[in-house]
Structure 1
Amino acid sequence: MKRLLLPALLLFGAAFAADEPKTVEAPKEFVLFNGKTLDDWESVDIGGSGVVELEGDVMIINQGESISGVVYKKAATLPLTNYEITLEAKRLQGVDFFVGLTFPVGNVKTCATLICGGWGGSVTGISSIDGFDASDNNTSSYQRYEDDKWYTIKLRVTPENLSAWIGEKQVIDEDIKGKKIAVRPGPIESYLPLSLTTFNTTSAIRNIKLTPIAEKK
């Protein structure tokens, strides 16, 4: 009987261990801007674009004659769907969008732009869906943005939905299944697939991160 005791205990222990919950690793977070360098970002001058520089730990996109901004150089290493981008931004001067976040939707050639503060300083939405800009599609809303105030912005991209939050407030929840997604034709096409831009506006941006999210089944 004693000879059978040890194997039985080992068998019981193995069965118990098999029932233990497995540790699930948290999704890897990509820090796109850490406040120390702009080496991962490339300025794009479409003619009259403002200078992009580092001040302290903040990215400053200075006001230009039209669009100013930077493209993320390592976009090819990032997820193209099922991800969230978060950042903090504030408008320092100007009366148009202080955040133009262009992002891929499934592949590097299919992109859209989240606009915060466009068309005179308040329109928020995504350009473009089925050919309609942020001011004219279902994602459009008017949000009040104060100068020199930090706003936390979050964008979520999945194969079937685009969502966005300003602080704790969800401002976009758009089903995109079967819809045409594209950036607005024009200068913004020079900023694919992942970029930050402004229009006739100076903005400060910090804490830019991308986090993969679990795919829904």
Structure 2
Amino acid sequence: MKSYSLTLKRTQIPVLAALLLVLASCTGNPKTENRTTPQTKSAEPGWVSLFDGETLNGWEVTNFGTQGPVRISGGNIVLGMGDGCTGITWTGNFPTINYEVQLEAKKITGNDFFCGMTFPVAESFCSLIIGGWGGPVVGLSNIDGYDASENETRTLKKFEHDTWYHIHLKVTPEKIEAWINEEKMVDFATENRKLSIRPEVELSKPFGICSWVTTAALRNIQVKPDLQAGH
């Protein structure tokens, strides 16, 4: 069995040392990588990517009138802090029932919701709020006229700054479900319930994502349409 050895010339040693230094700088603890490394990825089978990691193709910056700047940075969509909502609205076709959405979001500065996702439910609309009302509230706005801080979908969760959270939404004729990092946060049966949205996010319809007085980042936005056909 052959063995291979590497003999370095004296002039190659500084080059190798520099290469090792670069490789070492790329290897950090998982928490640091979670905070800083762009990880835009291709959509999994059955999923359709809504963000290419480089442009806002298919999106428009939502003209709330209170918005901060929106930009692409490091493979992420950054929603700058405004005086109210800052967000993006999808301009293409979007399913209305029997679909799933997944994305990753993080809070950079500020202490309110860093992901307010407005979405269709058949002929109605609703919003999934992540980190609202001072930071901890997760829930649906609105249910029978009550927002996420006042209805039965309200739960509390601590959200760290500069930490990515995986958000997964599923909409069927029977219910709305939502998970954060695989933890089920919403399991709401919609029969005989009135769904609506707050006036502040009216411009997010049919599908949009925004933050409230908070700088946030989004990546890996994907939709899986027509669940009945796929299952």
TM-score category, normalised to shorter length: 0.7 to 0.9
Partner SS, residue 147 of structure 2: coil
Instruction: Work out which of the residue numbers 127, 130, 138 in structure 1 matches 2:144.
Output: 130
Distance 1:133 1:216, change over 3 A: farther
1:104-183 alignment runs, 5 A limit: 104-107=120-123, 110-183=124-197
Once the two structures are superposed, what CA deviation does each residue of 1:23-45 show, in whole Å capped at 9, x if it has no partner? xxx97422111212102110122
Q: Which runs of 5+ in 1 are unaligned?
A: 1-25
Match of 2:211 in 1: 198
Quote the Cα distance in structure 2 between the aligned partners of 1:150 and 1:27.
Answer: 23
Q: Within 1, Cα distance between the matches of 2:86 and 2:167?
A: 19
With over 3 angstroms needed to count, the CA separation of the structure-2 counterparts of 1:191 and 1:78, relative to structure 1, is closer
Say yes or no: does 1:188 pair with 2:201. yes
Cα RMSD after superposing both structures: 1.7
User: Does residue 44 of structure 1 match 2:82?
Assistant: no
Code of the aligned partner of 1:209? Q
**Normalising by the residue count of structure 2, what TM-score does the alignment of the two structures yield?**
0.77
Task: Note the residue ranges of structure 2 that are not aligned, 5 or more in a row.
Answer: 1-43
Question: TM-score by structure 1 length?
Answer: 0.82
State the number of aligned residues. Answer: 187
CA deviations over 1:52-106 (Å, ceiling 9, x no partner) = 11002100000000111010011xx232111110000100000100000000101
Q: Secondary structure at the match of 1:120?
A: coil
Residue number among 53, 59, 63 corresponding to 2:71 in the alignment:
53
The answer for the alignment partner of 2:51 in structure 1 is: 33
Instruction: Please tell me whether Structure 1 or Structure 2 has the larger radius of gyration of its CA atoms.
Output: 1
Is the CA contact 2:135–2:159 (under 8 Å) kept in the aligned structure 1?
yes
**Contact in 2 for aligned 1:82/1:215 (Cα 8 Å):** no
1:96 matches 2:96: no
| 1:181 Cα deviation from its structure 2 partner | 0.7
